Amino acid sequence: MKSMLTLMKVKQRELDIISEQVNKLQAKRAEIEATFASLAERLEQEISSATAMPDMAHFFGDFSSHIKKRQDQLRNLAARTEEDISKLQLAIRAIYGEIKTYEQAYKNWKVREDKKRARIEAAQMDDLALQGFVRKTQPHA
């Protein structure tokens, strides 16, 4: 059953690697969200500035379209990141299921081996008891 234990270790390592990737993607998603919020804040500041200084308002249009374009890019990146996270989470669930299957198979094997060992030990003890009984009942010469 060493192969089963090895297989469980390999799958656990695979699970750890994928979990690491998910953590990195979640950090990336948080970074994207922070950048998006920062852009929204800058846009609000520019709107306030354009309102306060009407002579600078003609520059606002280009800035606004640039910010909105960048926000669209960030939304697309966030969506792709979410898809990647979802795919990896599906892989995690599948691997976790495999590990649980292997663990159950190992437990079942262990129970069978323990029962087998107990039967062998019981047979040996019965054999020793029988030999002792035979010695006691045989007349000494």
C-alpha 14/C-alpha 9 separation (Å) is: 9
Express each pLDDT in 77-129 by its tens digit. 999 999 999 999 999 999 999 999 999 999 999 999 999 999 999 999 999 99
The token duo for 37 is 């919020």
CB atoms within 10 A of CB 2: 6
Q: Looking at residue 140, what is its pLDDT?
A: 66
Taking the CA atoms of 107, 109, 111 and 114 in sequence, report the sign of the dihedral they define: negative
Average pLDDT score, the chain: 91
Mean pLDDT over 27-51 rounds to: 90
User: Domain-by-domain residue ranges, the chain?
Assistant: 2-137
CATH topology for 2-137 is: Helix Hairpins (1.10.287)
C-alpha 101/C-alpha 69 separation (Å) is: 48
pTM, 2 dp: 0.71
Query: At residue 30, does pLDDT exceed 70?
Result: yes
CB atoms within 10 A of CB 106: 15
